[in-house]
Structure 1
Amino acid sequence: MNQPEPFDVVDLIRTKRDQGELSTDEIQWLASRYASGVVADEQMSAMAMAIFLNGMSRREIKDLTLAMIETGERMDFSSLSAPTADKHSTGGVGDKITLPLMPLVASFGVAVPQLSGRGLGHTGGTLDKLESIPGWRADLSNEELLRIMDEVGGVVCAAGSGLAPADKKLYALRDVTGTVECIPLIASSIMSKKIAEGTDALVLDVKFGSGSFMGDISRARELAEVMVQLGEDAGVKTSALLTNMHVPLGRAIGNANEVRESVEVLAGGGPADVVELTVEIAREMLRLAGQPDADVESHLRSGKAMDVWRRWVAAQDGDPDGALPEPKESLEVKADRDGVVVEQLALPFGIAAWRLGAGRTRKEDPVVHAAGIDLAKKPGDEVKAGEVLFTLHADDPARFDRALEALEGAYRIGDAGEKINNGGPLIADRIGGRGSAHTASN
């Protein structure tokens, strides 16, 4: 005879609907029964909306994070001789930092287990970018992952289905129920996977600005504080950088073109903002891993990071010398006057790249690896009438009109001396240690 359930999910939904707190036992039961199918999607949808509207206490967020971890497996890197460090970005436009960062940190003898995802909407996925490389393989067994980590120093691969399966179900549900932009659900989703991943140290790149999920810096700070506390409570050395996503990062937005830009960085060149953020996150990862004085820039100049990149791409069956996909069609957008680029908003450029085919609407959709945008000018650059501002790339020229629609009002040429609207410095703050214990709302 089946034992009766200790809780009724409708009672739990009512509690959270009426601004109450769920107990640790209630949260553990909710996560495990949702993973096993006892709690239905429509019931979890109601719970997600109740959490979105009424928030959760820090204790509830911690309990939810740990409960989602317990629905699956934990990875163990104790067999490696090197310490492990990882990073997570909340996503942005032109954010290809993982690509040069992993080999750079690994070149210092710190192992980097970068379990990544594919893009949905306007923020590109790391795996989509890397799958532009001929032969490169995202899906690895645990045995392959450990072997490559040991031999090369790092991997970038798809997360296995065994890590926090309750979060995997809830993540997909949030996307279709309007509950994505919810700090308790974002924090527990990210940190359940990262803690289950088993890394020793974690640096969070939390974005704010027009091209981010957290448009406002105060909400980005709150999210960062919650996640840093979750990591520390779980015994993971955790810190966060608040970084500016008001304008696109770098000059390439897409997949194959972002790989090209990443290789430029590894070769000692590349756009200044991409280099700056790569170097600063690498420094922070190495500091948490016990190397506070690492000369990060020297490993870009000397080619040590590039050597790791080449060995790692080959280890995942990619050809580091293979030709990247080229677009079938390109369209140049030119300046209509002399002046200075004073504005370039990240979100419309991300949407435009998505409409060109660089992103997907549904998880099962393919991406066009050669599609995207190359920026010839960035905010602060002088421009002459007739000069190229940016170039659109697609396989189907019919996509250009809708991409251009997304870009109406997204960039502006002003007069010399006019204020540049770039949202401020690239790195606005660093957060480490414990945050305040206030309630995290939607």
Structure 2
Amino acid sequence: MNAQRAAGLIRCKRDGGELDASQLRAVAQGIGSGAWSEAQVAAFAMAVAWRGMSIPECRQFTLALRDSGQCLRWDDLPGPTLDKHSTGGVGDGVSLLLAPLLAACGGYVPMISGRGLGHTGGTLDKLESLAGYEVHPSSARLRQVVREVGCAIVGQGDELVPADGRLYAVRDVTATVDVADLMVASILSKKLAGGAQALVLDIKTGNGAQLPALADARELAGRMLAVAEGSGLDLRVVYSDMGQMLGREAGNALELRAVLDLLCGRGDNPRLLALTLELAAALLCAGGLAADHGDATRQLRRARDSGEAAERFARMVAALGGPADLLQRPDAHLARAPIQREVGAPDSGYVAAVDVRALGQAVVELGGGRSRPGQALDHAVGLAEVLGCGSAVQVGQPLAIIHARHADAAEAAQRKVARAFRITSEPAPSRPLWQWHMPAEQFA
């Protein structure tokens, strides 16, 4: 595609025009093939941010992104293909927990995931904490791992939705992460290309979310459901709270270690585990693998308590090139930062509020996230043992522990993290961790 035509398509959208299916296919082809420069991709993303897309336009762009690469089919599997996607959070390891839990209960999970966006962590970045783990396997290898293990958490690579892969990276650094139409097209194009039959979309709300207001989250859900209509995808939407970190760790290796602890029956991450079980139970019901929500929850707890889910995760890691002894020797494979610094509470009382976006940004500034496309990450850095809202604290008690590579970075993070907590003399009212877009009974 020549530069003049690319500029014309960008100008049309910038000026409020509606692109037709053939024009949107040209946009996706230009982005995916590399014919469009990074500046043109960024300009198109900003034009969409400014002017938006109609539902038909967003649907056609979603399909154009999907068709920029291969589309997987799983007709030969003996069970349902299930998947989950989050709009992005801090301390959110749900995908890493959910995939092996579902696999241990008879589901198949070909999960096409992404990297961190802005202040939020990315599932692929967490998995790359493990040396050798191949986040972009060939389609043949992906099929083999899903068939033999039951789950594979990978990126889209060059074969699956390459146009979205490039657009995703540009959105990360151009203030277009939270553009609803781009979120819809990005999420659904990956999930449609991955071949999932049922999908739970976890839309985060609260100060640490890409869309903090519940009203904006509901609008996104409506657009998502409208665009997905007729696609054959059973889409269900849940809103979950990101007014505090979901888990107690933020940072790639730290979060992965927390997930391993939960899979092996250790650790103290009640919010992370509770949300994972809720979403996984809904998917087991959607896939016909459970009679109702209670039956699904019992199956999932057995899968965890028996060690079957942990074993599935370990097999997935080994099958995709990671260490074969991860469960036996996690410390040998997960990097640890050389400096740990406590952030002490300035007063006694209760944690009334947490600026989660600031915590996520602190991880980025430590080197655990990106400020430009392709930036290398330090997988060891981040935050650990972060307190949540309602926690009682004594003066000087750690609100969080900084894991840093250098002393000056640790000191800067200490200041930022300290400002992110508000301590009061009385506990603030608690917020529900999740609510379904429709009554939960409809998912059973």
- Alignment TM-score, normalising by the size of structure 1: 0.88
Pick aligned residue for 1:302 from 302, 306, 322: 306
Q: Write out aligned runs for 1:38-187 (5 A).
A: 42-187=39-184
Matched to 1:402, the amino acid is: A
Unaligned runs of 5+ in 2: 440-444
Give a deviation string over 1:380-400, Cα, whole Å, max 9, x none: 121222322211111211201
Distance in 2 between residues matched to 1:139 and 1:68, nearest whole Å: 18
Pick aligned residue for 2:405 from 395, 404, 420: 395
Shift of the 144–32 alpha-carbon distance from structure 1 to 2, 3 Å rule, reads closer
Q: Which residue of 1 aligns with 2:277?
A: 279
Question: What is the Cα deviation at residue 329 of structure 1?
Answer: 0.8
Shift of the 256–27 alpha-carbon distance from structure 1 to 2, 3 Å rule, reads closer
Contact in 2 for aligned 1:224/1:431 (Cα 8 Å): no
Question: What is the Cα deviation at residue 314 of structure 1?
Answer: 2.6
Distance in 1 between residues matched to 2:269 and 2:37, nearest whole Å: 48
1:203 corresponds to 2:207: no
Question: What is the Cα deviation at residue 149 of structure 1?
Answer: 1.1
Shift of the 133–112 alpha-carbon distance from structure 1 to 2, 3 Å rule, reads same
Distance in 1 between residues matched to 2:179 and 2:167, nearest whole Å: 12
Q: Write out aligned runs for 1:361-380 (5 A).
A: 361-375=371-385, 377-380=387-390
Matched to 1:110, the amino acid is: G
Q: Which residue of 1 aligns with 2:442?
A: none
Q: Which residue of 1 aligns with 2:287?
A: 289
Q: More relative contact order in 1 or in 2 (CA 8 Å, sep 6+)?
A: 1
Question: What is the Cα deviation at residue 431 of structure 1?
Answer: 4.9
- Would you tell me which structure has more helix in proportion to its own residues? 2
Distance in 1 between residues matched to 2:335 and 2:382, nearest whole Å: 12
Pick aligned residue for 1:350 from 356, 360, 363: 360
Distance in 1 between residues matched to 2:30 and 2:136, nearest whole Å: 28
Contact in 1 for aligned 2:88/2:117 (Cα 8 Å): no
1:341 corresponds to 2:338: no
Distance in 1 between residues matched to 2:251 and 2:172, nearest whole Å: 22
Distance in 2 between residues matched to 1:183 and 1:54, nearest whole Å: 11
- Aligned length, in residue pairs: 426
Give a deviation string over 1:125-146, Cα, whole Å, max 9, x none: 2122223335433332222211
Question: What is the Cα deviation at residue 376 of structure 1?
Answer: 5.0
Matched to 2:402, the amino acid is: L
Distance in 2 between residues matched to 1:18 and 1:56, nearest whole Å: 12
Matched to 2:374, the amino acid is: E
Distance in 2 between residues matched to 1:337 and 1:37, nearest whole Å: 54
Q: Write out aligned runs for 1:403-442 (5 A).
A: 403-415=413-425, 417-420=426-429, 424-431=431-438
Distance in 2 between residues matched to 1:408 and 1:344, nearest whole Å: 10
Give RMSD over aligned pairs. 2.6
Contact in 1 for aligned 2:56/2:227 (Cα 8 Å): no
Distance in 2 between residues matched to 1:58 and 1:276, nearest whole Å: 34
Distance in 2 between residues matched to 1:386 and 1:43, nearest whole Å: 50
Distance in 1 between residues matched to 2:99 and 2:233, nearest whole Å: 19
Question: SS of the counterpart of 1:407?
Answer: helix
Pick aligned residue for 1:315 from 310, 316, 319: 319
Contact in 1 for aligned 2:89/2:120 (Cα 8 Å): yes
Pick aligned residue for 1:360 from 340, 354, 370: 370
Distance in 2 between residues matched to 1:246 and 1:290, nearest whole Å: 33
Pick aligned residue for 1:236 from 233, 238, 260: 233
Q: Which residue of 1 aligns with 2:265?
A: 268
Shift of the 407–69 alpha-carbon distance from structure 1 to 2, 3 Å rule, reads same
Distance in 1 between residues matched to 2:211 and 2:336, nearest whole Å: 33
Question: SS of the counterpart of 1:86?
Answer: strand
Question: What is the Cα deviation at residue 166 of structure 1?
Answer: 2.5
Give a deviation string over 1:311-350, Cα, whole Å, max 9, x none: 2223233232232222211111222332112122211111
Matched to 2:288, the amino acid is: G
Question: What is the Cα deviation at residue 13 of structure 1?
Answer: 4.3
Give a deviation string over 1:81-132, Cα, whole Å, max 9, x none: 2221111111111011111111101011111011222324321221222233
Unaligned runs of 5+ in 1: 433-442
Question: SS of the counterpart of 2:204?
Answer: strand
Pick aligned residue for 2:16 from 19, 23, 40: 19
Q: Percent identity?
A: 38
Distance in 2 between residues matched to 1:37 and 1:257, nearest whole Å: 35
Question: What is the Cα deviation at residue 216 of structure 1?
Answer: 1.4
- Alignment TM-score, normalising by the size of structure 2: 0.88
Distance in 2 between residues matched to 1:368 and 1:106, nearest whole Å: 30
Question: SS of the counterpart of 2:419?
Answer: coil
